[in-house]
Amino acid sequence: MVQVLIVLVLGGAAAAIAAVLRRRGSDAPEQGASWAVPTQLDRQDFHRPDAPWLVTVFSSATCLACQGTWAKAQLLDSEAVAVQEVDAIDGKALHDRYGVEAVPMLLVADADGVVVRSFVGQPTATDLWAALAELREPGTVPPSCTGD
Protein backbone atom coordinates (compact mmCIF):
# COMPACT_ATOMS: atom_id res chain seq x y z
CA MET A 1 0.00 0.00 0.00
CA VAL A 2 2.84 2.40 0.84
CA GLN A 3 4.51 1.59 -2.47
CA VAL A 4 1.33 2.41 -4.39
CA LEU A 5 1.04 5.71 -2.53
CA ILE A 6 4.69 6.61 -3.37
CA VAL A 7 4.10 5.77 -7.06
CA LEU A 8 0.97 7.96 -7.12
CA VAL A 9 2.79 10.91 -5.49
CA LEU A 10 5.77 10.62 -7.85
CA GLY A 11 3.43 10.29 -10.86
CA GLY A 12 1.50 13.40 -9.79
CA ALA A 13 4.74 15.37 -9.33
CA ALA A 14 5.99 14.27 -12.75
CA ALA A 15 2.69 15.32 -14.36
CA ALA A 16 2.84 18.74 -12.66
CA ILE A 17 6.44 19.31 -13.81
CA ALA A 18 5.54 18.24 -17.35
CA ALA A 19 2.60 20.67 -17.40
CA VAL A 20 4.82 23.56 -16.27
CA LEU A 21 7.47 22.75 -18.87
CA ARG A 22 4.84 22.42 -21.60
CA ARG A 23 3.40 25.83 -20.75
CA ARG A 24 6.81 27.46 -20.64
CA GLY A 25 7.90 25.94 -23.97
CA SER A 26 4.74 26.75 -25.91
CA ASP A 27 4.91 30.53 -25.52
CA ALA A 28 5.60 32.33 -28.75
CA PRO A 29 8.75 34.41 -28.82
CA GLU A 30 8.22 37.97 -27.67
CA GLN A 31 7.70 40.30 -30.60
CA GLY A 32 8.73 43.92 -30.75
CA ALA A 33 6.21 46.64 -31.49
CA SER A 34 5.18 47.18 -35.09
CA TRP A 35 3.30 50.02 -36.69
CA ALA A 36 1.31 50.37 -39.85
CA VAL A 37 2.90 52.53 -42.52
CA PRO A 38 0.54 54.32 -44.91
CA THR A 39 0.80 53.14 -48.51
CA GLN A 40 -1.07 56.02 -50.13
CA LEU A 41 -1.22 59.75 -49.41
CA ASP A 42 -3.59 62.34 -50.81
CA ARG A 43 -1.12 64.86 -52.20
CA GLN A 44 -3.71 67.62 -51.70
CA ASP A 45 -3.24 67.17 -47.92
CA PHE A 46 0.37 68.37 -48.20
CA HIS A 47 2.35 71.38 -49.41
CA ARG A 48 3.19 71.63 -53.10
CA PRO A 49 1.00 68.78 -54.39
CA ASP A 50 2.32 69.45 -57.91
CA ALA A 51 5.93 68.48 -57.02
CA PRO A 52 7.00 65.13 -58.50
CA TRP A 53 8.10 63.86 -55.07
CA LEU A 54 6.93 64.39 -51.50
CA VAL A 55 9.00 63.70 -48.40
CA THR A 56 6.83 63.84 -45.29
CA VAL A 57 8.16 63.55 -41.74
CA PHE A 58 5.50 62.67 -39.18
CA SER A 59 6.97 63.88 -35.91
CA SER A 60 6.45 65.11 -32.38
CA ALA A 61 7.95 68.21 -30.77
CA THR A 62 9.14 66.13 -27.80
CA CYS A 63 10.99 63.56 -29.93
CA LEU A 64 14.76 64.00 -30.35
CA ALA A 65 14.93 61.44 -33.17
CA CYS A 66 12.23 63.44 -34.96
CA GLN A 67 14.39 66.55 -34.83
CA GLY A 68 17.30 64.68 -36.41
CA THR A 69 15.06 63.15 -39.07
CA TRP A 70 13.58 66.54 -39.93
CA ALA A 71 17.04 68.14 -40.15
CA LYS A 72 18.10 65.51 -42.70
CA ALA A 73 14.84 65.65 -44.66
CA GLN A 74 14.90 69.46 -45.02
CA LEU A 75 18.08 69.20 -47.08
CA LEU A 76 16.13 67.29 -49.76
CA ASP A 77 13.81 70.23 -50.47
CA SER A 78 14.06 71.29 -54.11
CA GLU A 79 11.93 72.14 -57.12
CA ALA A 80 11.28 68.43 -57.66
CA VAL A 81 10.95 67.44 -53.99
CA ALA A 82 8.42 68.93 -51.58
CA VAL A 83 9.40 68.39 -47.95
CA GLN A 84 6.97 68.78 -45.09
CA GLU A 85 6.95 68.06 -41.37
CA VAL A 86 3.66 67.03 -39.77
CA ASP A 87 3.76 67.48 -36.00
CA ALA A 88 1.64 65.22 -33.78
CA ILE A 89 -0.09 68.22 -32.18
CA ASP A 90 -0.34 70.79 -34.97
CA GLY A 91 -0.98 68.11 -37.59
CA LYS A 92 -3.05 65.75 -35.44
CA ALA A 93 -5.74 65.47 -38.13
CA LEU A 94 -3.18 64.13 -40.63
CA HIS A 95 -1.63 61.78 -38.05
CA ASP A 96 -5.13 60.41 -37.39
CA ARG A 97 -6.16 60.30 -41.06
CA TYR A 98 -3.12 58.21 -42.01
CA GLY A 99 -3.03 56.14 -38.80
CA VAL A 100 0.44 57.28 -37.79
CA GLU A 101 1.17 55.95 -34.31
CA ALA A 102 4.98 55.96 -34.32
CA VAL A 103 7.34 58.86 -34.84
CA PRO A 104 9.52 59.70 -36.54
CA MET A 105 7.95 58.21 -39.63
CA LEU A 106 9.34 59.47 -42.91
CA LEU A 107 7.42 58.74 -46.10
CA VAL A 108 8.53 59.30 -49.68
CA ALA A 109 5.58 59.52 -52.06
CA ASP A 110 5.49 59.92 -55.82
CA ALA A 111 3.35 62.35 -57.82
CA ASP A 112 0.29 60.09 -57.39
CA GLY A 113 0.75 59.89 -53.62
CA VAL A 114 1.96 56.27 -53.64
CA VAL A 115 4.37 55.75 -50.76
CA VAL A 116 7.40 54.23 -52.45
CA ARG A 117 9.79 54.31 -49.49
CA SER A 118 9.37 54.67 -45.74
CA PHE A 119 11.45 54.84 -42.60
CA VAL A 120 10.11 54.26 -39.09
CA GLY A 121 12.71 55.65 -36.73
CA GLN A 122 15.54 57.97 -37.61
CA PRO A 123 17.21 57.04 -40.91
CA THR A 124 20.84 57.75 -41.58
CA ALA A 125 21.44 60.63 -43.97
CA THR A 126 23.11 58.20 -46.38
CA ASP A 127 20.11 55.84 -46.42
CA LEU A 128 17.66 58.69 -46.88
CA TRP A 129 19.55 60.47 -49.63
CA ALA A 130 20.39 57.22 -51.45
CA ALA A 131 16.74 56.13 -51.34
CA LEU A 132 15.57 59.37 -52.92
CA ALA A 133 18.37 59.38 -55.49
CA GLU A 134 17.48 55.83 -56.56
CA LEU A 135 13.79 56.67 -56.81
CA ARG A 136 14.39 59.82 -58.85
CA GLU A 137 16.92 58.17 -61.14
CA PRO A 138 16.94 54.35 -61.02
CA GLY A 139 20.43 52.89 -61.27
CA THR A 140 22.03 55.81 -59.44
CA VAL A 141 22.80 53.73 -56.37
CA PRO A 142 24.61 50.39 -56.81
CA PRO A 143 22.48 47.39 -55.71
CA SER A 144 25.07 46.52 -53.07
CA CYS A 145 24.27 49.83 -51.36
CA THR A 146 20.47 49.50 -51.44
CA GLY A 147 20.19 46.08 -49.81
CA ASP A 148 18.70 44.56 -52.98
Rounded mean pLDDT for each run of 10 residues along the chain, 148 residues in total = 67 70 64 82 96 96 94 95 96 96 95 96 91 83 58
Domains in the chain, start-ordered, CATH in brackets? 43-146 (3.40.30.10)
Q: How far is CA 58 from the centre of its chain?
A: 11
Q: What pLDDT does residue 147 have?
A: 52
- From the number of C-beta atoms within 10 Å of its C-beta (0-12, 13-18, 19+), residue 59 rates as buried
φ and ψ at 40, to 5 degrees? -145, 135
Find out whether 115 and 53 touch, Cβ atoms under 8 Å. no
- Distances in Å between the alpha carbon of 141 and those of 22, 80, 95, 115, 124? 50, 19, 32, 19, 15
Model pTM score: 0.74
pLDDT at 8: 62
CA distance 28 to 104: 29
Q: What is the pLDDT of residue 3?
A: 74
pLDDT value at residue 111: 96
Residue 62: the pLDDT is: 93
